[in-house]
Structure 1
Amino acid sequence: MTSQTLNLRGTGVALITPFTAEQTVDYPALARVLSHTGQAEGVEYWVVNGTTAESPTTSAQEKAEILAFVKANNPQRLPIIYGIGGNHTQAVIEQIRKTDLHGVSAIMSVSPYYNKPSQQGIIAHYRAIADASPLPVIMYNVPGRTGSNMSAATILTLAEHPNIIAVKDASANIEQYLQIAKNKPKDFYLISGDDMHATALIAIGGEGVISVLANAFPTIFSKAIRAALAQDFGTANELLYQLIDINGYMYEESNPVGLKALMAQLDLCRPTVRLPLVEASEALHQKIKATMPKA
């Protein structure tokens, strides 16, 4: 690892892509989300075109337009992380080359899914991407979606690459987190991919989170993360307790279905998602309403 100027300590927001009732990108709603999260004290950066943004169902043109819109609506000058991933290594590299990355600070790339490569295949995949990328690369390990886990040994091997600066790990494996935290280079970031594990990950040596719930509750969530980073886990836990009941509903009918239902109740966007996802059921809307944090 080489030293980096990009600081990933704290809270990154995995931004949603709001849609209109006609299923087009809702840019006025996206502007509200950017204002809502960007002006919250403690939000350190945005992640654009991740899973929460429904990237599998946005077109190449929409992706380019969304990225341009986020760049143009960033008065706080928050760093922008852009998701470019897939299970066809060369196609990922070509997409990186074709994307206008001006104003982007790093690329986040999900571990290859469906074809289920070996750990050596995962290492070769990320090395090829990191070698080709003009920007630093953040790895994303999410076994619940990809069907395979990046082992601690694989992550630590890749952490030695000079252009790989972080991993967003959603493995929910505390022993794996400990192994990474113990053995990683000092300037390599271990970032939680699970909102409710974030403060625990920080306690054992992690640096922050890329958050789903921070779309809706950026102030509460980022205060919890900053408290944890200051080793004030009493305050961090009290803040996180406000969100623990509602968190599970974000995933009950898949992310971002629950999140968009929540944000609709906050008048930030419509609950519209694109097929094969379907809008939250009335039962889920009611559960979210009943567990809305009082703060």
Structure 2
Amino acid sequence: MLSVQMWRRARSLLSRGAWTRVQSASTAARLDLSGIFPPIATPFTTSEDVDYRRLEENLQKYAKIPFKGLVVQGSNGEYPYLTEEERVEVVQAVRSSLQPQKLLMAGSGCESTKATLQLTEKMAAVGADVVLVVTPCFYKGKMDSQALIQHFTKVADSSPVPVVLYSVPANTGLELPVDAVVQLSQHPNIAGLKDSGGDITRIGLIVHKTKGQDFQLLAGSAGFLMAAYSVGAVGGVCALANVLGQELCELERLCVSGRWEEARVLQQRLIEPNAAVTRKLGVPALKQAMEWFGFHGGACRSPLQPLTEAETQQLRRDFTSNGWL
């Protein structure tokens, strides 16, 4: 696998058409996705505009943590509530600040294939190294394997950067079927899957069934990061990394080095706070926790509402009872 710098140089030396042909001809130039990626939050002003100053301050703090890169415009970035122009502008702002050796993975998924193709082109043009493409879900009753394979194949065929599939059933009500993942893993421009479902048997099965491909599995949550590593995942895109990034990078280090007993102790302390900022209380809780840990979370964009006092107290208990506050 190529380094980030080598990958970008190869792209810069080729026209888009030539680059696409190189991608289609070989998987040798696949980027290495191993490591921890925080799916960064989007800070807003009191008038619900994107607060680029606070975003930059968060980025400066994240630069001190050994992340593999950042995910921008993932679920925790409130991407469904941003305009297309805002989504692209946020990615461009992050690219201008992000260290050159760090990967920028940009969410470019839309409901239609055509819109996804267009946004993917724009994300690549402003500096995304990889795009994260969520499953279309509004007509989820018709989103069977055939429809999803066609969708992701068309996106990957046209994308000037590698594609990571994104299955997040808690938000979409739709899980990317294993048979679809296995078929899509054979595409030379599909680099891997971010699986946020938390089913370790499924993750292990996907790793097993795609082992003949250059295909990488990323755990989509910190609550099962160690378990995912144990069955072959290479890293994680974890909301909790916005708050406890150094600790999640330490968990990664312990897993990769085979120090499973130490990893187990750390993993157990992360389960409750992770659940609090994901499935239990969601993005408003993540943003509140960021404030406690010295980052700028701020308010969410409407219609998301701030935590109630009772929810805030529960969130604090989930962190303090595990020794984080």
Q: What is the TM-score when the length of structure 2 is the normalising length?
A: 0.85
More helix by share: 2
User: 296, 303, 307: which is aligned to 1:276?
Assistant: 303
Report the equivalent of 2:55: 30
Name the structure 1 match of 2:111.
Answer: 87
Find 2:79's aligned residue among 41, 44, 55: 55
In the aligned structure 2, how far is the partner of 1:126 from the partner of 1:186?
Answer: 17
> Residues 40 and 73 of structure 2 are in contact (CA less than 8 Å); yes or no, is this contact kept in structure 1?
yes
1:123 corresponds to 2:184 = no
For 1:172 and 1:99, the matched residues in 2 are separated by 28
Cα separation, 1, equivalents of 2:221 and 2:39? 11
Q: Per-residue displacement from partner, 1:91-133 (whole Å, max 9, x unpaired)?
A: 1112223445343211100011121111111101100110111
User: 4+ runs of 1 displaced by more than 4 Å?
Assistant: none
Identity of aligned residues (%): 27
Distance 1:100 1:208, change over 3 A: closer
User: Partner residue of 2:240?
Assistant: 213
Indicate whether 1:77 and 2:101 are aligned: yes
Q: How well do the aligned residues superpose, as a CA RMSD in angstroms?
A: 1.8
Aligned to 1:142: 168
- In the alignment, residue 57 of structure 1 is paired with which amino acid? Y
Unaligned runs of 5+ in 2: 1-25
Post-superposition CA distance 1:131-177 (Å, at most 9, x none): 11111000001122222211211101100001101000122222221
CA distance in 1, matches of 2:51, 2:215: 36
Q: 1:166 & 1:72 partners in 2: Cα distance?
A: 25
Q: Secondary structure at the match of 1:256?
A: helix
- 8 Å contact kept, 2:163–2:190: yes
Deviation at 1:18, TM superposition (A): 0.8
User: What SS does structure 2 have at the residue aligned with 1:268?
Assistant: coil
* Match among 189, 200, 213 for residue 163 of structure 1: 189
Check whether the contact 2:36–2:238 (CA below 8 A) recurs between aligned residues.
yes
Deviation at 1:76, TM superposition (A): 5.7
Show CA shifts across 1:194-230 (max 9, x none).
Answer: 2111110110111111010001111001110121122
Which residue of structure 1 aligns with residue 177 of structure 2?
A: 151
What residue ranges of structure 1 are gaps of 5+ in the alignment? none
Counterparts of 1:206-245 in structure 2, within 5 Å, are 206-245=233-272
- CA–CA distance in 1 between the matches of 2:169 and 2:102? 29
Cα distance in 1, alignment partners of residues 303 and 291 from structure 2: 20
SS at match of 1:274: coil
1:260 aligned to 2:287? yes
Q: Aligned-pair distance for 1:188? A: 0.7
Asked if the contact 1:141–1:150 (Cα under 8 Å) also holds between the matched residues in 2, the reply is yes
Match of 1:194 in 2: 221
Tell me the secondary structure at the aligned position of residue 126 of structure 1: helix
Tell me the SS of whatever aligns to 1:63.
helix
Residue by residue, what CA displacement relative to the aligned partner does 1:209-262 show, whole Å, maximum 9, x if unpaired? 101000111100111012112221212222223322222211356531110010
Structure having greater relative contact order (Cα 8 Å, sep ≥ 6): 1
How many corresponding residue pairs? 294
Shift of the 239–35 alpha-carbon distance from structure 1 to 2, 3 Å rule, reads farther
Aligned to 1:248, which of 275, 279, 284? Answer: 275
